[in-house]
Amino acid sequence: MRISLTKACLNLALSLTLPMAIYAQQSDLAKPNPNQESHVDGLTGHAHPGAELYYRYCWGCHGARGNGDGENAQWVNPQPRNFVAAVFKCRSTPTGTLPTDDDLNASIERGFITSTMPSWITLTAQQRADLVAFIKTFTGRWTTDKAGTPINIPPEPKLTLESMKHGKELYQKLECWKCHGQEGRGDGPSAATLTDSTDQPIKAYNFYSNYRFKCGSSNQDLYRIFMTGLDGTPMPSFADVVKPEDAWDLVHYLRALQIWHPSPELALWQSQGGEYAKSQKPENTYTGADVHP
């Protein structure tokens, strides 16, 4: 018991001294700011209390220096985010730019489906803001660059069968099927060859099996993914090739591929236009709103 207590005290002391040691060892092109702040939904986050949270909850996967090499990383697929590289999938900002503090907070609060990153909604809003501030200290990009300007998302137009059919045409024209498959199951001809920016294998999103997206669950979230892309993955931004109204058509069609997710799009597609959705509808239909069966 005495040995265990001593070990626990040593671990606590280490967790409190690690942040300062890491600040001193940062070797990024620009020196990270140990006094980094974040601004999330009216709250100001501070790096120092965020460090204590990080070394309590996060470093086991993301690593003591934030480069994704924590002791649990070898068991994690996909690999934990490398904060030093400062390449983030989920953003409201254009491809290649830094996310906003609100974007980082949303990722912490929401977690990531099809990964081991859980939701940290159990933390208080202030704790998440502090954690965001500390995460920003792992790279000098927040010292030299500003977050990108969030893209504009126009109002969603009225759902029509014509818009969904046009979305299906775009799905073919833009060759989304090459990765996501003709039926949205993530089994396209290129799916087995996909890798991320670190040359790690990565799976194409499976619309059929999942009700949430990597970066949210609403139609607006899906629209945002089209127009910002998922940096560090093969999913590009379509902002330069897809018009806003066309993006909404694609959103409406893709919703119909999520047959476990009851939606107006699925109901319309099944009743009037989608023979595939009719034939593939499971007998035990998913009727919940937030929990996958």
**Which residues in the chain are classed under CATH 1.10.760.10?**
161-280
pLDDT for res 8: 44
Kind and range of the H or E element at 168? helix 161-173
Residues of the chain with pLDDT under 70: 1-32, 273-293
Structural fold of domain 161-280: Cytochrome Bc1 Complex; Chain D, domain 2 (1.10.760)
138-154 as b/e: b if 16+ CB within 10 A: bbbbbeeeebbebbebe
pLDDT for res 78: 84
Whether this prediction's pTM lies above 0.85 is answered by no
Structural fold of domain 7-144: Cytochrome Bc1 Complex; Chain D, domain 2 (1.10.760)
